[in-house]
Amino acid sequence: MSSNGKLHSAEDRLAPRYKAYSLRNFRHIPQLQDLPPAYLRAIEVVGQVLPFRSNNYVVDELIDWERVPDDPMFRLTFPQPGMLLPRHYQRIEDLLANNASPKEIKQAANDIRLQLNPHPAGQLEQNVPVLDGKRLMGIQHKYRETVLFFPSQGQTCHAYCSFCFRWPQFVGMPSLRFAGQEAGQLVDYLHRHPEVTDVLFTGGDPMVMRAQNLAAYIEPLLAAKLPNLRSIRIGTKSLSYWPYRYLTDPDAEQILALFERIQQAGLHLAVMAHFNHPRELSTEAVRQAIRRIRNTGAQIRTQSPLLRHINDDADLWATMWQQQVHLGLIPYYMFIVRDTGAQHYFGVPLVKAWRIFGDAYSRVSGLARTVRGPIMSAHPGKVQVIGVTQAAGQKVLVLRMLQGRNAKWVQRPFFADYDTKAMWLNGLKPAFHRRRFFFEQAPDPARRYAGASLNCYEPAASGRAYWS
């Protein structure tokens, strides 16, 4: 790479070509040949239900094959036997053993998927806004200042995380999929909602799109010169799973030029990068890609859930945050695994998560303490576990809202009974013998958000979002 960040032509010629692995061809991966046949069968069984996709960069540069099947990067990207509940696993395994038809297997898989809480936190019922009486299925608007947009051509990834809470985007069930076709619709929505300052492009992964397709969604936002729009965010795992997107892909230069145009238009660009393990930060390719993105003026913020079997270790998190700061990244969130998909496999109890976060947080300098956690992206909002304390003679969990469906909930502390087994908000009970948490009070329809900007929250299929 030259001093100006451009790749030399010799390096271009040696650039790796992307190769995807899925259920159709994973048995051709040379490194898998030493695994017992029963383990390969388990990948096939679980992969019928939960989405599976990997690639040659993950296989060749991130997985430590001497540690497989216990290697964390292998568990992160390849289906594991415990990711399905025993009864679900047995159902699919029996169908495969009896040579059931693809239609039978797909029906069984869909039946199981519908039992896995495919769209948690009211995503289908309460996050989808309404414009002129029409639900905008490619947009979500849960928090006042931030709108999520799901570009239709960005609803896949370079590789799939086995914990992903967006797994319904990838399994071929149209009724569970978010996708937005028109950038114009997004612009119209933002025109009518001046309270929105941030747009988050998400998926899937928007960075799987060709540069011209991503530009077709972003350029209309720049051309509209919306006075309320301040930031564009792009949620992506591409730095971890295919950093060559910014190095040697045919349109890498166009992608970086698009990032520069966003800055030149007076908007802030935040690349919301997902790093789940320090090994994802270790290759020369990812470090070069980080440098190239930062040279455009974009900031890279990092986030990850706390994952049993993958990264449930304070030393690992402290190391990861320190490496991120060293590379110029901004640690942002430690999440709790959502109550969907294989939560039973990856989930960490809230009390343990708080202890891991606190231990890791105490080992890093102030530059890494931009990170917040542990966080549940739950139905009422982003709930942070603050800690454990004694109050009114009772041991309690202290929590607060970092974001809320109701803006007045933000930063409001509340208390739950101490519980070492609870893994999600719905597993907690209000402390001090209260019947419900404050955000569970029945909303008053007369107290909708007073500003005309939130008329998007019209009655939806299964509910209504209220603001006060």
What is the percentage of the chain residues whose pLDDT exceeds 90? 73
Residue-wise pLDDT tens digits, 218-240: 999 999 999 999 999 999 999 99
Range with the largest mean pLDDT of 107-121, 181-195, 222-236: 222-236
Average pLDDT score over residue span 69-74: 95
Average pLDDT score over residue span 252-278: 97
Report the mean per-residue pLDDT for the chain: 87
Question: In this predicted structure, what is the pLDDT of residue 228?
Answer: 96
Residue-wise pLDDT tens digits, 280-323: 999 999 999 999 999 999 999 999 999 999 999 999 999 999 99
Question: In this predicted structure, what is the pLDDT of residue 427?
Answer: 94
Strand ranges inside 326-380, DSSP E: 330-336, 372-377
With H, G, I as helix, E, B as strand and everything else as coil, classify residue 256.
Answer: helix
Look at residue 165 and tell me whether its pLDDT is greater than 60: yes
Q: How far apart are CA 399 and CA 407, in angstroms?
A: 16
Average pLDDT score over residue span 86-112: 94
Q: How far apart are CA 383 and CA 399, in angstroms?
A: 7
Question: In this predicted structure, what is the pLDDT of residue 448?
Answer: 34
Average pLDDT score over residue span 246-270: 97
Q: How far apart are CA 249 and CA 245, in angstroms?
A: 5
Peptide bond preceding 459 in cis form (omega within 30 of 0): no
Half-sphere exposure of 309 (CA within 13 A, CB side): 24
Question: In this predicted structure, what is the pLDDT of residue 386?
Answer: 97
Residue-wise pLDDT tens digits, 4-30: 445 544 344 467 899 999 999 999 999
Q: How far apart are CA 235 and CA 222, in angstroms?
A: 19
Residue-wise pLDDT tens digits, 428-440: 999 999 999 999 8
**Could you tell me which residue, 360 or 136, shows the higher pLDDT?**
360
Range with the largest mean pLDDT of 11-25, 183-197, 250-264: 250-264
Written as six digits, the tokens of 273 are: 């990068």
Residue-wise pLDDT tens digits, 206-218: 999 999 999 999 9
List the single range of 97-106, 130-139, 167-176, 404-413 with lowest mean pLDDT.
Answer: 167-176
Is residue 359 within 8 Å of residue 121, measured between CB atoms? no
Q: What confidence tier does 132 reach under pLDDT thresholds 50, 70, 90?
A: confident
Question: In this predicted structure, what is the pLDDT of residue 8?
Answer: 45
Q: What confidence tier does 466 reach under pLDDT thresholds 50, 70, 90?
A: very low
Question: In this predicted structure, what is the pLDDT of residue 173?
Answer: 55
Average pLDDT score over residue span 126-146: 87
Residue-wise pLDDT tens digits, 324-354: 999 999 999 999 998 877 888 999 999 999 9
Q: DSSP string of 111-146? A: HHHTTS-SS-TTTTTTSS-EETTEE-TTEEEEETTE
| C-alpha dist (Å) from residue 368 to 202, 361, 372 | 25, 8, 10
Question: In this predicted structure, what is the pLDDT of residue 460?
Answer: 31
Q: What confidence tier does 124 reach under pLDDT thresholds 50, 70, 90?
A: low
Is residue 257 within 8 Å of residue 214, measured between CB atoms? no
Q: What is the DSSP letter of 61?
A: I
Question: In this predicted structure, what is the pLDDT of residue 445?
Answer: 39
**Could you tell me which residue, 34 or 296, shows the higher pLDDT?**
296
List the single range of 129-133, 165-169, 182-186 with lowest mean pLDDT.
Answer: 165-169
One-letter amino acid identity for 237?
A: K
Q: How many CB atoms lie within 10 A of CB 6?
A: 14
Question: In this predicted structure, what is the pLDDT of residue 310?
Answer: 95
Question: In this predicted structure, what is the pLDDT of residue 123?
Answer: 53
